[in-house]
């Protein structure tokens, strides 16, 4: 068996990626393939944290614009991430992976509240920790939550799945036009540089 490059990683999965070609809801075949890769990592001894977006159900800015106050729309998006976290936890558990879901908003009936020390302890015990509800504050994306959680749990790598390539390309072109032809991406498409000690 290969030796892992990193002992602890944070995986950012977009909600759209979980929808597959359906572009809405959940594609359990896609989720099963993602879970298989995560299980392989866990079996190699890698400690895995996951942040999942909610765009396959709700995007606060896009879906609520002009109809729902922005803060409330963003909170609805956080709840969408919680649904995705519970679904991914279930798929992983069906494959024999020990999982804990922690959320930035308290939803004690279905998940633990996010507590950094508890998250690290779960990781040390070989459990996958799935972080839901972003950082619990409106106006911040789950990309922000991924970077924050990666730093908090002291990962060496934050790995970001590709969102819909056409959407990314369009967004980059729009930013180039707004910024006089230059574009700076705050997050790389795959792996960030080391940000912790593990």
Q: How far apart are CA 123 and CA 137, in angstroms?
A: 25
Helix 70-94 to helix 28-43 angle (10° resolution) is: 60
Q: What is the mean pLDDT of residues 107-136?
A: 98
Residue with the two structure tokens 């060496």: 156
**What pLDDT digit, counting tens, does each position of 74-116 carry?**
999 999 999 999 999 999 999 999 999 999 999 999 999 999 9
Residue with the two structure tokens 């106006």: 139
Does this model's pTM top 0.85?
A: no
- The candidate with the shortest Cα–Cα distance to 94, out of 144, 49, 133, 128, is 128
């Amino acid at each position: 068996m290969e030796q892992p490059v990193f002992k602890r990683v944070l995986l950012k999965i977009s909600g759209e990626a979980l929808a597959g070609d359906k572009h809405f809801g959940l594609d359990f075949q896609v989720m099963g393939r993602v879970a298989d890769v995560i299980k392989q990592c866990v079996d190699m001894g890698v400690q895995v944290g996951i942040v999942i977006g909610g765009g396959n159900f709700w995007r606060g800015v896009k879906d609520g614009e002009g109809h729902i106050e922005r803060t409330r729309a963003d909170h609805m998006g956080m709840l969408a991430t919680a649904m995705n976290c519970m679904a991914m936890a279930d798929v992983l558990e069906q494959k024999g992976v020990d999982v804990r879901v922690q959320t930035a908003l308290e939803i004690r009936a279905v998940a633990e509240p996010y507590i950094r020390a508890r998250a690290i302890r779960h990781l040390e015990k070989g459990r996958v920790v799935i972080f839901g509800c972003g950082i619990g504050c409106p106006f911040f994306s789950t990309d922000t939550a991924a970077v924050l959680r990666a730093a908090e749990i002291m990962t060496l790598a934050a790995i970001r799945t590709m969102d819909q390539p056409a959407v990314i390309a369009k967004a980059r072109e729009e930013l180039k036009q707004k910024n006089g032809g230059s574009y700076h991406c705050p997050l790389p498409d795959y792996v960030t540089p080391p940000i912790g000690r593990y």
